[in-house]
Amino acid sequence: MEDKNSISKVMTYRDSVYFYGNIWNLTITAILLFAPILCCIIYQVWPDWALLGAGLVATAPMYFAVGVVEVFTYIPMLGAGGTYLSFVTGNISNLKLPCALNALEQSGYEASSEEGDVVSTISIAVSSIVTTLIVALGVLLMSVTDLSTLLTNNPVLEPAFAQLIPALFGGLGVVFVSKNWKIAIAPIILMLVLFIAIPGLGGSVGIMVPVSAIFTIITARILYKKGLLG
């Protein structure tokens, strides 16, 4: 009886996550589209539909493909609620994913569990609030001081800003690589080869994370089939 009740609670929680998640994702989509459409209506300035269509044909397939891949990539790591909230707030690979993974690591829960889903969602929500407050504080300080010159354009501090993301993922990587070093070898080699051979990929971290995740899953499956994983 207890098992049936627990299953019912999990399903109720999941259903609420999917229900509100879909509402928020559709709402943010409408808001993002509303601003440019409103500007076009007010100022009676519309894009050249032929050029817009040509541009979409050249770029949209890649982003649609990445978007589909990201859904399947992030859900196992972030949980359902964390995935919905991450896609609404953005900066997944830079902020939300590291924050959620660290929270799950500290709590000891898996993202696939109800508890892990809640932990991941709360950590991402806190990350979003903190990010918003820091951005607001930065805008306020920039309005009264020359903060950009003091920080981002400072020749002494500039090298540190370039290493923020590597340092962040490096810290998380040590934890997860030490636990699954056999699985980590192949994707690490692949990413090193790609980024060394194609330096321009440094600006495509958001695309390369799903690619690396899929490659890692395939590699882990092969190693498991060969009996190389315990």
Residue 2: predicted pLDDT: 47
Q: What's the pLDDT tens digit per position in 178-208? A: 777 888 888 888 888 888 888 777 666 667 7
**Domains of the chain, residue spans:** 1-144
Highest mean pLDDT among 1-5, 29-33, 169-173, 210-214: 29-33
Q: Contact at 8 Å (CB) between 86 and 74?
A: yes
Q: Give CA angle at 77 (71, 78), nearest 5°.
A: 75
Backbone φ and ψ of 163, nearest 5°: -105, 5
Contacts of 111 (CB under 8 A, 6+ apart): 76, 77, 78, 79, 82, 100, 104, 117, 120
At residue 124 the predicted structure's pLDDT band, cuts being 50, 70 and 90, is: very high
Confidence (pTM): 0.66
129 or 156, which is more confident?
A: 129
180 or 23, which is more confident?
A: 23
Highest mean pLDDT among 23-27, 203-207, 210-214: 23-27
Encode burial over 119-132: b for 16+ CB neighbours within 10 A, e otherwise. Answer: bbbbbbbebbeebe
Q: How many CB atoms lie within 10 A of CB 78?
A: 28
pLDDT greater than 50 at residue 167: yes
Please provide the average confidence, as pLDDT, over all residues in the chain: 81
* 188 burial level (CB within 10 Å; 0-12, 13-18, 19+): middle
Residue 1: predicted pLDDT: 46
Q: Contact at 8 Å (CB) between 40 and 100?
A: no
User: Percent of the chain having pLDDT more than 70?
Assistant: 86
Residue 155: predicted pLDDT: 75
Q: What's the pLDDT tens digit per position in 41-97? A: 999 988 888 888 888 887 777 777 777 777 877 888 888 899 999 888 888 877 888
> Any idea of the CA torsion for 42, 43, 48, 54, to the nearest 10 degrees?
-60
Amino acid at 159: P
Taken as a whole, the chain contains a residue count of 230
User: Percent of the chain having pLDDT more than 90?
Assistant: 12
Of the listed ranges 97-106, 115-124, 157-166, the one predicted with least confidence? 157-166
